[in-house]
Structure formats: structure tokens, C-alpha cells
A and B are shown apart, each in its own frame.
Chain A
Amino acid sequence: MPYAFTAALAFKARLAYRSEIWAGVTGFSALSLSKVAVWAAIYATSSQVIDGIPLPAMNAYALLAGAMLAAWDWSDFLETTGRVLKSGDITSYLVKPVNYLWFQFANELGRAAFGHLLVVIPSVLLVIAFVPVAPPASGAHAAAALVLYLNAFVVLFLLAGILGICAFWLMTTFSLEWLLGALLQLLSGAMVPFWFFPGNIGNFVSWLPFAFVAYHPMSAYLGVTSQSQLPLVLVMALSWSAILAAALIVLWRRAVHALQIQGG
């Protein structure tokens, strides 16, 4: 119950900054339209269908692959976790009858819900009014894409949390934010889908956890992942979440233990 309340409160807190809604919608729409234009330019010099993907499907990829990263600013969570551990402010959370990690998960979930409901969904509706966008390949693909998309939030939360806790030992959150940003830019598939990567590079990076943030949800949506492959991808996605969650919990316990020693 306190976690549901935390999520609702985080949602309401973001409502207070209404100017960020129009800025977010304008920014995400402009960015999506520019990505659509990039693919239109590429398709104009090639053919109507590249590697089995027609332009409306690529438009869907351009519009939706970066949605999670646009809806939720994971860097705030990474920075907050690093800061409270370094400063010792974490003690104010440790005396409360809540688990810090669950508390932050609920908080960020509320913020992500805000980003989706008031920035991403209006932007998507705006863009599809002007640009042909392919629907999901089938009902099964749509359902799998939705599960993978929800899991993308979990994977991103866990990655940001792990690096936030690492800041306790490295004394910097700045570089970790930039590093995760770089990894996501290159390995999430948010900008360029892996099937366009040369050689076996795409196949290799598609099994890394970053790929489950953007590439796999969109591959399922478009039907690039065949129906028979969907269970394997879903198992991989949930496995990465379990592995990252275990790593986060181990690091968290070590950091809190070290903090208690420092406290004297």
C-alpha cells in the first residue's frame, strides 16, 4: 500500500510542472518526426522494402523504439541513489518501514506512468496523424511486445540502480550516467535496429540486457521475432531481469553494510 501511494504521489508531483508536458510532447514529436525522416531518406535511395521491412514498419520502429527512454528519465534515479549513499542521507530511508529499492521502484513507476500518459501517448497520436505507422504483426506479437515493453522499464530501472550504487565506491554519478547513456545509445537498438548492423554484430548485441530496452519489444511488435521465437525471447528478458535484480540486491547490501561501518 505505501508503494502504491508513493507511485501516485510521484505522478502528482510531476503534474505540478505542466510546462514540461508541452515541452515533452513537442520535443518527442519533433524527434520522432526527424527519425521518421531519416528512414524515409534511406528508403528513398534503396527500395520500398529493406530486409523484409517496409517503410511503415520502420516508421513504427522510429516512433516507438525510443518511447521508454523518452517517457522516463532514468538518470534522476541513478543520481539520487548515488547521492543518498555518498552523503549518508540513506539513513533517513533505512529508519522508515519501507524497503528503499521498492520505494524507488514505485516512485519511478509513477514518474514513468506520467511520461507515458501525458508525453508519449499524445506525441504518438500526433505523429500517426501525419505518418503511416504499421500496426503490430498479430495479436500474439502485440501481447509479447507489451510484456517486453513493461519488462524494459524493469531492466532499465535495475541497470540505473546498479550503477547508482556503484557511485558509492567510485565517488561519481556523472560518469556513470554518461556511460549508461552511451551503452543504451549503441546497444539498445533505440536508434538503429540490429538487423541493419553489419555482419554478426547485431546478432551478438541482441542478447545483451540493453537490447531488451528497445530492440526486442519492437522486434516482437513488428513480427521480426517469429511467433515460435517469442517464448525464448520472453524467457531471456525475464532471465536478464532476475540476474540484474540479484546483482542489485547484492550490491545494495554491500553498500549499506559499508555505510554502517563508516557510521561508527
Chain B
Amino acid sequence: MKRLFALNVMHIRSHLQFRGAFLLDRVAQLISYAAGFIVLWLLLQRFPSLGGWTWPELALLLSFQLFVYSVGASLSLVQMRSLDHLVQRGGFDVFLLSPVGAWSHLVFANGGPFGYAAHILLSCTVGAWALANVEVQWNAGLLLLLVVGLLSGIAIYTALITIFGALTFYIGRSRPAFLLFASLMVIAQYPLNIFPLAIQILMLVLVPVGFASYVPVAFLLGKEIVIIGNSGAILTPAVAIGMVVLAATVWRFGIRRYESAGG
């Protein structure tokens, strides 16, 4: 753990060498995500609800999704997207020699929540406003669900991005998978009840991104959850654990297929 921390501190220091650019990057990210929120806010100024979800409820879904994605992506996205280049050039060799393990070294030497400060700040701010404006009868069970939902969402995104990145070991490129991931991210911003059955199955069964934000938020708000029903919300941590096990398996088998670029 100490080594991983040291790796991440080195990564942060390297970025802080250009403080002005670093700050500008975070401000630009903040504006970019805020623009996405504003577009939906403008729409909900014109229409009372979207699929029965009011603006504060949608804001909660958006901020929940942005938060779990940000933390999950900080542990995986930039790192896994760099795998294409590393594997094609043989640069992955150095990670195989690491005493902390290839995945951990790749993740902590090249990312972390520091680069996602803007996402986290925006999601926490909007999320706090939304929680204060939605009607939820809070009790210990719901609070526990909120925490479990957040942790599960982070695990699902980290696992999913790791699986997409590890495709490089199998088919040589992961870029197509990440193109699809970008589309899934957009769909995940909306309540799944507005979509046709095929997209609901895609989001809850084939690529269970819906469990990362829609299922816990819909349960919290007392909305009817599509396909799995409200009792299905209890599956969320199980889906997260399943995704992590799957990601670890795909990653391990993938590494065995890695042949470097030399020789």
C-alpha cells in the first residue's frame, strides 16, 4: 500500500510541474460536465418531467452517475486506454516486473482521483443540492443502501473499464470497446424506464452499467425499477462483486497472452 501511495504521489508531482495548465484542465472539465447538466436542466425547465423523473431526481441520478464513474475511472480509464499503445510497443514489460503487480502499478502510477477533482467537486455539489430537494424518507437502511450503492457503482465502472482495456491482450486494440463505452455512458445518464426493452437489457444484463447508478438511485427515490423490479436492487453489490471477479479473470488470462514486442 505504501508503494502504491508513493507511485501515486510521484504521478501527482509530475502533473503539478505545470500548475497553470493543470488548473486550466480541471476548470475546463468542470465547465464541460456542467454544460451537460445545464442542457438537461434547460430541457426540464420546458417540460415538467422525463419519464416521471423531475429535475431534482434527474440531478441526483446524473450526479450519482458522475461520482461513481469519476472515482471508478480515476482507477482505470486513462490507464486502460493507454494499454493499446503499451502492448503494441512492448512497453507493458515493465509493469510485469513490478513488485506491486501489473494492474496496481499501471493504475497508481498513471491516475488517481487527483485528475478527477473537477468531476468529483461538481457531482458532490449537485448531488448535495439534489438530495436536499428530493422527497426521501431517510432511515438507516436507505443510508446503508446509498453507501453500498456508491461503492458498488465505483467497483462496476472500475471492473468494466478494466475488462474493456484488457481486450487489447486478446484482439490487439481496445479503442472500439471504448467508443462503445462512451455511448453507454451517455445512456446511463437517463432513467432506464424511458428506453425500449432492448436498451434496458443492454444496460442491466449484457453490460450492467445500469446497476452502477440507475438501480440504486431509482430504489432510493421509490421509483419502479425496470426488468428486475424494486427487490432486484439487492442484487447491486452482487453484480459489483461479479464484475470485479470477471475483470480480474479477464485481466489475468489476458496477461498470459501478452507476448511483448521484442525478439
A residues touching B (Cβ–Cβ < 8 Å)? 17, 19-20, 22-24, 26-28, 30-31, 33-34, 37-38, 40-42, 45-46, 170-172, 174-179, 181-183, 185-186, 191-192, 196-198, 201
Contact = CB atoms under 8 A, between A and B. Distances in A.
11 contacts: A38-B194, A42-B47, A46-B47, A171-B18, A174-B21, A175-B24, A175-B25, A177-B28, A182-B31, A185-B36, A191-B39
A178 B25 contact: yes
Tell me the dominant secondary structure on chain B's binding face: helix
Nearest to B27: A175
Interface of B: 18, 20-21, 24-25, 27-29, 31-32, 34-36, 38-39, 42-43, 45-51, 171, 173, 175-177, 179-180, 182-184, 186-187, 190, 194-196, 199, 202
Contact of B43 (A34, A37, A196): A196
A183 B35 CA distance: 8
B176 A20 contact: yes
Contacts of A20: 175-176, 179
A117 B190 CA distance: 30
Contacts of B27: 175
B238 to A, nearest CB: 26
Contact of B186 (A22, A31, A170): A31
B173 to A, nearest CB: 6
B202 A30 contact: yes
Given A37-B199, A179-B32, 5 more contacts: A30-B187, A38-B194, A41-B51, A172-B24, A181-B32
Nearest to B184: A30
B156 to A, nearest CB: 19
A31 B187 contact: yes
Nearest to A172: B21
A176 B27 CA distance: 10
Contacts of B180: 23, 26-27, 30
Given A34-B199, A182-B35, A19 B25 contact: no
B77 to A, nearest CB: 14
Contacts of A30: 180, 183-184, 187, 199, 202
Contacts of A42: 43, 47, 50
A176 B28 contact: yes
A27 B194 contact: no
A30 B201 CA distance: 12
Contact of B171 (A19, A179, A181): A19
Contacts of B51: 41
A68 B20 CA distance: 33
A174 B29 CA distance: 9
B194 A41 contact: yes
A192 B202 CA distance: 25
B24 A185 contact: no
B183 to A, nearest CB: 4
B35 A185 contact: yes
A151 B42 CA distance: 27
Contact of A192 (B18, B43, B187): B43
A183 to B, nearest CB: 7
A34 B199 CA distance: 8
Contacts of A181: 32
Contacts of B194: 37-38, 40-41
Contacts of A46: 47
Contacts of B179: 20, 23-24, 27
Nearest to A199: B45
Nearest to A73: B179
A28 B50 contact: no
A27 B182 contact: yes
Contacts of B21: 170-172, 174-175
B183 A186 contact: no
Nearest to B21: A172
A45 B194 CA distance: 12
Nearest to B172: A19
A19 B183 contact: no
